[in-house]
Amino acid sequence: MKPNIHDVAKIAGVSSTTVSRVLNNRGYISEKTKEKVYKAMEEINYFPNDLARSLFNKRTNLIGLIIPNSSNPFYGELTFHIESICASLGYKLLLCNSLNRIDKEEKYLEMLIRNQVDGVVVVTYNRGILNYEKQNLSVVAIDHYLSKNIPVVGSDNYSGGKKATELLIMKGCQYIVHINGPIELQTPANLRRKAYEDVMKEQGRLPITYEVSPLQSHKEVISKLFDEHPEVDGIFASDDLIAASVIAESKKRGKEIPTQLKVVGYDGTEAVQVLLPELTTIQQPIDLIAKSAIDILLKQIEGEFNNFPLETYLPVKLLEGGTT
């Protein structure tokens, strides 16, 4: 059996109240008593039960993170930063991979509520489905609007989309096509598309956007793009994995990069920098996104409403590689 606070008390020859006070460093305790208690804890290898503490305190220091899939380098990296920041602040992370499935998100959310998490960080495409507010749970969303009252943190998508499109134009591309997720998903990533379209129109060009589903293979859509627009010589993909698929398809068709086709991605994760360093991409400040999200979440948890912005967009950086 695991030792409890009474076992410690008995060995130290004090009451469990005193042990608790030593544990929490609260109230006045004589140095001598403190030492006895510490020695007793050491002796029987005692660790306080956080379940019991949390039950009393109504505070678990537990944060839930719902992401689509940690296999994806962007989410894997985001998860790393969020967890690291949490750990440094004494919070623990309950990880949930929703695969973007509403049923899973609902189950996970209920699980998090039952486990009394202090707050939740959500990355989901399923907007408005979950009644996050009903439970008056502290929530922060990354890169996705959930409702009017839930703060969103992400990269400066408009600026990123603009940088990508302008680079392709500057490099002399004549037929620039954009690939993005479905426009129905009202995510801030739509701003990448908006920026692309704005810049194209400004230049008197016709914006053409192909839509890929976040759940399905991008191959057919990309193949279709090449079939329908053989003249394409510039592609701005809304994430690096799509960009990699574009490069693969281009190779398959004997279209040389960057001479015949230039490609720009989005995300710029560490994995991409190692595995596909030649890719030109718009790098998201994943560490800052994580930091801001947690900052905002903790403010909510501490009850400081109105002391944080509802939308936070952090600066992106153009990483120029050999694909442009």
Residue found under tokens 């130290």: 12
CB 226 within 8 A of CB 168: no
Minimum CB separation of residue 313 from DNA in Å reads 39
Site for its own copies, residues 34 to 53, rule: CB under 8 A: 45, 47-52
Minimum CB separation of residue 321 from its own copies in Å reads 11
Q: For residues 5 and 246, which CB has a smaller minimum distance to DNA in the complex?
A: 5
Find which of DNA, its own copies, none residue 126 binds, CB within 5 to 8 Å per kind.
none
DSSP-based three-state secondary structure for 60: coil
Out of 33, 61, 186, 209, name the contact with DNA by CB under 7 A.
33
Q: How many residues bind its own copies (CB under 8 A)?
A: 53
Name 37's Cβ contacts closer than 8 Å, sequence gap at least 6.
Answer: 8, 12, 14, 18, 19, 22
DSSP-based three-state secondary structure for 273: helix
Find which of DNA, its own copies, none residue 223 binds, CB within 5 to 8 Å per kind.
none
Strands in the chain per DSSP E = 62-67, 92-97, 119-122, 138-142, 152-155, 176-180, 208-211, 234-237, 262-267, 280-283, 311-314, 317-319
Kindly state whether residue 43 participates in binding DNA, applying the rule CB under 7 A: no
Name 243's Cβ contacts closer than 8 Å, sequence gap at least 6.
Answer: 235, 237, 263, 264, 265, 266, 279, 281, 323
Question: Cα 228 to the chain's mean position, in Å?
Answer: 35
Other CB atoms within a 10 A radius of the CB of residue 248 amount to 13
Report the C-alpha gap between 218 and 122 in whole angstroms.
24
Out of 23, 29, 95, 319, name the contact with its own copies by CB under 8 A.
95
Find which of its own copies, DNA, none residue 24 binds, CB within 5 to 8 Å per kind.
DNA
Kindly state whether residue 25 participates in binding its own copies, applying the rule CB under 8 A: no
Kindly state whether residue 215 participates in binding its own copies, applying the rule CB under 8 A: no
Minimum CB separation of residue 243 from its own copies in Å reads 9
Out of 15, 24, 116, 174, name the contact with its own copies by CB under 8 A.
116
Kindly state whether residue 29 participates in binding DNA, applying the rule CB under 7 A: yes
Kindly state whether residue 17 participates in binding DNA, applying the rule CB under 7 A: yes
Kindly state whether residue 310 participates in binding its own copies, applying the rule CB under 8 A: no
Binding footprint of its own copies on the chain (CB under 8 A): 45, 47-52, 54-55, 60, 69-73, 75-77, 79-80, 83-84, 87, 92-97, 104, 107-108, 110-111, 113-116, 134-135, 240-241, 244-245, 248, 269-272, 274-277
